[in-house]
Every structure is written in C-alpha cells, then in structure tokens.
Amino acid sequence: MTAAPGVTAGFAQEIAAVVEQLRHITVQVRTRRAATGAGILWNTGEPEGSGLVITNAHVVPGNQATIELGDGSVARARVVARDPKRDLAALEVELEPARTTAAAVVRDSPLHVGELVIAIGHPGGFVGAATLGIVHADESARDGRTPRWVRADVRLAPGFSGGPLADAAGRLVGVNTMIQGSLALAVPAAAVAAWVRRPRALVAS
C-alpha cells in the first residue's frame, strides 16, 4: 500500500508532461468577429515558413483568421479547405522564415472504452486549459469505415472547439467539435488525416 502514493504522483507528473506537450501544438484561432476557438498544428511536410492548422469550420466562418502560437507569437492565416459536414477547416499559416513548430502526432491504433483522453482549449479567456476524461463508447469502424465520432466523457466549454483530443501518450485521437448531452464529440483523427491527404482536399470551397 505504501507504493500507491508514489505511483499516483508519478502518473500525475506524466499527465502534466503530456498536457504541456499538447499545449505546444494547440493554437488560438481568432476572427474579425472576435470569436476565439482552438486549432491544431498539423504536420504536412511543407518547407519552413509555412504551416497548417486544423480547426472546426464553425470557428472560422470567413476566409481569414489570426493564429496565436503557444509562445505568444501571432501569424496570419487563410482558410484553404473547408468541410461543413465534418465541421473541419484547414488554415495555411504564414510563419516567420526558419521558424520551426511542434506538430500533432496522429494515433494509428483503435481507441477502447474507458481509455484516458485529454482535451486542450481556451475557455473563458484561459489559454491552454486542460480537461481529462475517458472514452465513453466504442464506435468501431464498420465495413472499413472510420467511426463518425469519438465520444468521450470529457467536460468541454466554448473555446475548446477545434482543439486536440489526445490519449495519455499525447497522440492525437480527435478534433474537439461539440457537446451532445453530457458527452464530448470529436472528429476522429484518422478521418482528419485522410481528409488532409485527399487529392485536391486543400482547396477552399
């Protein structure tokens, strides 16, 4: 029994480290309407000086936005793709020359009921806030299709939209989108990755 506190403390430190890692890939998305949401730095293999941010379509109703990175620096962005059905938007970000940023690592294995997940967002003016929960239901892929939603018992609030939902190792499992009842719904990261890779996907529509 004496080992339990140490195990708990170690686990808490691991989660805190993962949260800090996720905060580096989570940005603030601002529009002219002053609506603020979150976004995820996405690895596209593009050369330095350019970058991609994935967020919800409802976070950027127009074609322009301002992105604030984790270090407080600000960059201009424009919408280069939009999928209203999935509530996804991709923004091309103008980064300073030779600037490097962290990027999300997408998990490539299935989620399981009860698995720990972490959401990062900017609710009520708090930048990089974190909330913790578990996967609520197993929407296993049917006929080779990606599940429509990751459903998790995670407390979200306005400002989390477009931000990452990740596992306990910090791997992206979804893009936070909405609350349905008491559950958080996120677009599965595998579906987002497929959308980004799709030919001609990154063309504004």
Active-site positions?
58, 87, 161
The separation between CA 105 and the C-alpha centre of its own chain, rounded to angstroms, equals 10
The angle at the Cα of 40, spanning 39 to 46, to the nearest 5 degrees, equals 125
The beta strand positions in the chain, using DSSP E, are 26-30, 36-42, 50-55, 64-68, 74-83, 88-94, 116-121, 129-135, 150-153, 164-167, 172-180, 183-188
Q: Which of 27, 30, 52 is nearest to 38 (CA)?
A: 27
Cα 28 from Cα 33, distance rounded (Å): 14
